[in-house]
Amino acid sequence: MKRTPSFLILLLSCRMSVTSEEDSTGICSLGWRSKQHGKPWSTSLAIGVGLLCLPFFQGTFVGSLSASPLGKPLAEKSFVAAAVARSGPAVVTVDTQRTVRSRSSRSLPPGLLMDPALERFFGMRGLGTPRSRIERGQGSGVIFSVDGLVLTNAHVVEKMDRLTVGLSDGRRFSGRVVGQDSLTDLAVVRLDGPGPWPTAPMGDSDQLSVGDWAIAVGNPFGLENTVTLGIISNLNRNVSQLGISGKRLDLIQTDAAINPGNSGGPLLNANGEVIGINTLVRSGPGAGLGFAIPINRARTIAKQLVERGRASHPVVGISLSRVPSSEPGGAVLPGAMIRYVAPGGPAEIGGLREGDVIISIGRKPMDDPAAVVTAINRHGVGKPLSFGIRRKKRILEFLIKPIEMNKIGTR
């Protein structure tokens, strides 16, 4: 038989005393009556019950501070700390330097402009002596190979004369660019030193879902080893949606803070694996939006840069737009309309025409022009690719063989 807790017995005793006669003098007789109204004072009763039950609630409250809602002790460290400990040593600072020389806009010989009298005569004071200045910048990167290869953004190292890479343990080494690709904003830098080099584990960006944890690591504003936390806000965000042209990127969108100096640093998942390379941040209206290049795409480009010094960009020689609605004000239709076909390009040779609508590639439906570009990129160069086309009311299929972008105007 279970015993009734003592605090419940006290509560029952209080209740019995309250309902007894006015001259009851028991220890729990807290229901004193008001002389004016003849009713028990509920406030006095509450205070009495609270005092009697204080030891019980005190133990419960103190115990709740040291336990989670599931009854387990709270962890002293978060999963973020464990994730950063796994990849943090491979995150580096990339310090850049270049010399910028000012040039005269006049066509007179440099030796002639060195004469001060002639400068005054021609009204070109200050243009005779060439001037130069040192520009310095900083970005981030991540070591992905035991050979000392660093993955970073192309815009971090582009046109730079000198690179210095700093590791989290304080070591600093010179670096040289193995290859860079402006279309995907990726570059690979090789460290000049004996190592050993810490490396970060690579994740699988194709397995990401909206709402997954995202951890950005880098050196914003020169503040080394800065970590911010957020979630994956969107996947396959085409760079053209951000008003940026001349790039071939489908980006991961995150609300983890990415600031100037974070460029080239890794975006990690909850396990500390690299799932992206931070590249863009939206400032001004809509601030708080950060973007990263998916690591699967980055690894493909990095491999090409290391092996060949350049990246491969398959094209078929077409310009695309969204499919307009057949009715004014109607919804945009799925697919991609061909607006231009390059003369002599694979698309023209294969039979595509202006006005055709691409509805599938490799028999996979295409929602918009960005999906078409992504499908061609993933397919590669030199292998036939099937295009499903809607031409007026007919559905046709063509085999097109993509070529390198730099060859599209030479055929």
Query: Going residue by residue through the chain (411 aa), what tens digit of pLDDT does each one get?
Result: 444 444 443 333 433 443 434 443 333 333 334 334 444 444 443 444 444 444 444 444 444 444 444 555 656 778 999 999 999 999 999 999 988 876 554 555 555 444 555 455 555 555 555 678 888 889 999 999 999 999 999 999 998 999 999 998 899 999 999 999 998 999 999 999 887 899 999 999 999 999 999 999 998 877 878 899 999 999 888 776 666 666 777 899 999 988 888 889 999 999 999 999 998 776 555 556 889 999 999 999 999 999 999 999 999 999 999 898 877 777 778 999 999 999 999 999 999 999 999 999 999 999 988 889 889 988 989 899 999 999 988 999 999 999 998 887 655
CATH class of the domain comprising 314-407: mainly beta
The fold of 75-92+140-311 is Thrombin, subunit H (2.40.10)
Instruction: Kindly give, in sequence order, each residue whose CB lies less than 8 Å from that of residue 38, ignoring residues fewer than 6 positions away.
Output: none
Q: How do the domains of the chain map onto residue ranges?
A: 6-65, 75-92+140-311, 314-407
Q: Which amino acid is at 269?
A: N
Burial of 296 per CB tally in 10 Å (0-12, 13-18, 19+): middle
Question: What is the Cα–Cα distance from 402 to 382, expressed in whole angstroms?
Answer: 6
185 is catalytic: yes
Nearest to 397 by CA among 355, 348, 361: 361
ω into residue 365 within 30 of 0, thus cis?
Answer: no
Question: What is the Cα–Cα distance from 30 to 100, expressed in whole angstroms?
Answer: 88
CB 261 within 8 A of CB 139: yes
- pLDDT, tens digit (0-9, with 9 covering 90-100), for 291-343: 999 999 999 999 999 999 999 999 999 999 989 887 777 777 899 999 999 99
Q: Of the residues 29, 87, 140, 155, which is catalytic? A: 155
- pLDDT, tens digit (0-9, with 9 covering 90-100), for 225-272: 889 999 999 988 877 666 666 677 789 999 998 888 888 999 999 999
Q: Of the residues 181, 263, 313, 356, which is catalytic? A: 263
Largest CA distance in the chain: 120
Q: Of the residues 17, 87, 95, 185, which is catalytic? A: 185
Q: Which residue has the tokens 């936390």?
A: 229
Give the number of other CB atoms < 10 A from CB of residue 179.
20
Question: What is the Cα–Cα distance from 367 to 196, expressed in whole angstroms?
Answer: 47
Question: What CA–CA distances, in Å, run from 151 to 157, 164, 204, 392, 407?
Answer: 11, 14, 16, 47, 27
Question: What is the Cα–Cα distance from 131 to 98, expressed in whole angstroms?
Answer: 14
pTM of the predicted model as reported, rounded to 2 decimal places? 0.69
Question: What is the Cα–Cα distance from 69 to 104, expressed in whole angstroms?
Answer: 72
